[in-house]
Amino acid sequence: MNRFHSRLTGMAIILGLLISAGCISGTTAPSSFYVLNPIADAKTETLPVSEKETILIGVGQVELPNYLDRPQIVTRITNNKLKLGEFDVWAENLSDSVPVIIADNLSNLLSAQPVAIIPGVGVIQVDYRVKVDVTRMDGTLGGDAVLIARWGIFGEQGKLLKTRRAIYRKPAKGDDYEAYVAAHSLAIEALSRDIAAALEILLKER
């Protein structure tokens, strides 16, 4: 009987320690959801149907590396080691949000031009198509958000008119995930500005 009570007492102590340590609490930490943002005050243009002189620019699907095909936000520990945010996740898939952000940015940057930016390239015939291949989109908390991408602008019959590979680094203004995501928004803004500058030259040459 004494041995039985001793075992129960030992189990009770262990259980109490686990509960106090949070190992058995019945609840988990709440997840935080984050979104990328376009340039401040960016406006979304609607596709005109009567203005034939308006130039249509389509932002095609943005190719992302497979390691970003997940809800968890990815940060880099070393050159060869990545970390997934256990409770810090994207509110939507990056493959869906990044092209929309780029389209919004281009709409804002090219607002002085007679253009309409449409995310996606489908049944609507466009004058220029923008394609972006992202090879890296990560960074360190409290450090730099790094975006490496190759982008191209295609004209009629899929002719490549302009292409460039660039590296964008934006320092995070804090050591948390919110600052990290904000820095990535700035990196995508820098990418969008380069694309917009190339489009402006092509539009002037028409």
Q: Spell out the domain ranges in the chain.
A: 1-30, 36-204
Using one digit for the tens of pLDDT, what is the confidence trace for 128-137? 999 999 999 9
Tokens of 83: 């970390």
Tokens of 29: 């930490």
State the pLDDT at residue 51. Answer: 47
Band (pLDDT 50/70/90 cuts) for residue 117 is confident
R_g over Cα of the chain: 24
Find the length of the chain.
206
Tokens of 97: 């949000």
> 169 vs 52, 131, 181, 187, CA distance in Å?
39, 21, 13, 6
Using one digit for the tens of pLDDT, what is the confidence trace for 15-56? 455 445 444 445 677 889 999 999 976 554 444 444 446 888
CATH H-level, domain 36-204: superfamily = ABC-type transport auxiliary lipoprotein component (3.40.50.10610)
User: In what helix (H) or strand (E) does residue 122 lie, and over which residues does it extend?
Assistant: none
CB 150 within 8 A of CB 116: no
Please name which of 140, 28, 36 lies closest in space to residue 91, comparing C-alpha atoms. Answer: 36
pTM of the model: 0.80
